[in-house]
Amino acid sequence: MIQLHDKFFKPYLSEAQILNAVEKMALAIAEDYKDEVPLFVGVLNGSFMFVSDFLKAYPHPCEVSFVKLSSYQGLTSTGIVETLLDVSEDIAGKSVIILEDIIDTGRTLQQLVHLFSDTNVKEFKIASLFYKSEIYNGEYAIDYFGMDIPNNFIVGYGLDYNELGRNLREVYTLNQTNMINLVLFGKPGAGKGTQAGFLKEKYNLKHISTGDVFRYNIKNQTELGTLAKSFIDKGELVPDEVTINMLKDEVEKNPDAAGFIFDGFPRTTAQAEALDNFLESKDMKVDATIALEAEDDILVQRLLERGKVSGRTDDQDESKIRNRFDEYNEKTAPLKAYYEAQGKFHSVNGIGEIEAITERIKTVIESL
């Protein structure tokens, strides 16, 4: 996948597929206009790559010009088409073929027809590399097209998302259906926080650390934070329902996320079931649980080194560190069985260079 601004896009059409469609269009039009010199009019900005490759494939004499229209902002059409570069005046008596990169609703096409309505051209035809027939509601025939495609937002080969992506030689489509939700496990020192940081940037995921969520709610004295603090002050465990409601708030605050990394929750089978039920209510699910595995002796050394810098007392006492490992093993064992039964538990070697560990996790994610 690639990232443009805040969105992620996945491969859709290869360069070879695109050029094959362009060549077929060029040869079809060449057969119809082999006995005259047509004027090809490209529609900027999107058509510049298409026009360039089309002219390379067109085997007969021709002329070329450009107009510039605009109706898109971001991912959606504004519904208002602006003429930014008008057609030249010297076109009377010529056969004009519009070269559009993409035709969807037909609003831009209406403006194009209007531009040529009083020019006394000999003939006026419309050619589009990409054609979304399922949403086209225009009254004008599309005389030539390269590919009939679904109504998905695409970028590349001249097409953009907020001006990025035009230079891509392939076409990508918005990655909006494949939400990835991960549960990240790992003993203290296993590098969960570091890897979560890489994964959230790579896949546009929201990292939800239960500890961070608790601290935020308690510090800001939210209703849930106040409720959680009342249990903590009494030395009692915060009920699962309170924690789930905090997570629910975090999920609902991030509707544009391509998925979530849950870190520090669940810690018990009951919590895992509660998380599954919550996600199911949102038409979501846990796609994978990833456990970063490392030998205890190696992690002890990591934490002791970390403790010299962080000053954390729980990272400066080996016996306390090993007690935390024992607690992790005790709590994680039933969770491992729970997710293994769903075919969602993945063990990843957490020893080595950070980049190498990230690649191992990416291999798991991209196999989902």
**Which residues are annotated as catalytic?**
192, 267, 306, 312, 324
Q: How far apart are CA 257 and CA 206, in angstroms?
A: 6
Find, among 259, 263, 247, 246, the residue nearest to 201 by Cα. Answer: 259
Find, among 217, 218, 182, the residue nearest to 202 by Cα. Answer: 182
Distances (CA, A) of 145 to 14, 18, 78, 166, 169: 17, 12, 24, 20, 19
To which H or E segment does residue 296 belong? helix 296-310
Structure tokens at 174: 């918005």
Cα atoms found within 13 Å of the Cα of residue 30, Cβ hemisphere only: 14
- Locus of tokens 């990025």: 164
Q: How far apart are CA 262 and CA 265, in angstroms?
A: 6
Q: How far apart are CA 301 and CA 294, in angstroms?
A: 12
- Helix 240-252 to helix 210-219 angle, to the nearest 10 degrees? 90
Contacts of 109 (CB under 8 A, 6+ apart): 100, 103, 126, 138, 140
CB environment 127-148: b (16+ within 10 A), e (fewer): bbbbbbeeebebeeebbbbbbe
Q: How far apart are CA 116 and CA 96, in angstroms?
A: 9
